[in-house]
Structure 1
């Protein structure tokens, strides 16, 4: 999708230096991908303590090579 946006030049420059990414397009795509992945991880963390396991559930038995 083609979009025109105004981006803080100093922030863009700093992000490009820190990431060694050379194009603005690649930088924005990388930033959006990492943003989405971060939100997904956050949502998974919210499940902590909310999942009920059977009393006889043995997570170690599902490991390979154990």
Structure 2
């Protein structure tokens, strides 16, 4: 999908320097992937304290099942 964007040249230069990417497309693609991954990680924080743990679960015993 072709898209025209007016990108801040200073931000783009920093992205090139930090990422090592050689093209605008590669730098923007990497930035979008990292942005998405970061937001998904932040979403996991919403789960903290909401899960119920089974204290009787023996993960070591489950490993040896098979």
TM-score by length of structure 1 reads: 0.82
User: Any gaps of 5 or more consecutive residues in structure 1?
Assistant: none
Q: 1:33 aligned to 2:33?
A: yes
Displacement of 1:47 after TM fit? 0.5
Q: Residue in 1 aligned with 2:49?
A: 49
TM-score by length of structure 2 reads: 0.82
Superposition misfits of 4+ residues, deviation over 2 angstroms = none
Separation (CA, whole Å) in 2 of partners of 1:3 and 1:26: 14
* Aligned pairs (5 A) from 1:1-20: 1-20=1-20
What is the number of residues matched between the two proteins?
Answer: 63
Displacement of 1:51 after TM fit? 0.3
Q: CA RMSD in A?
A: 1.7
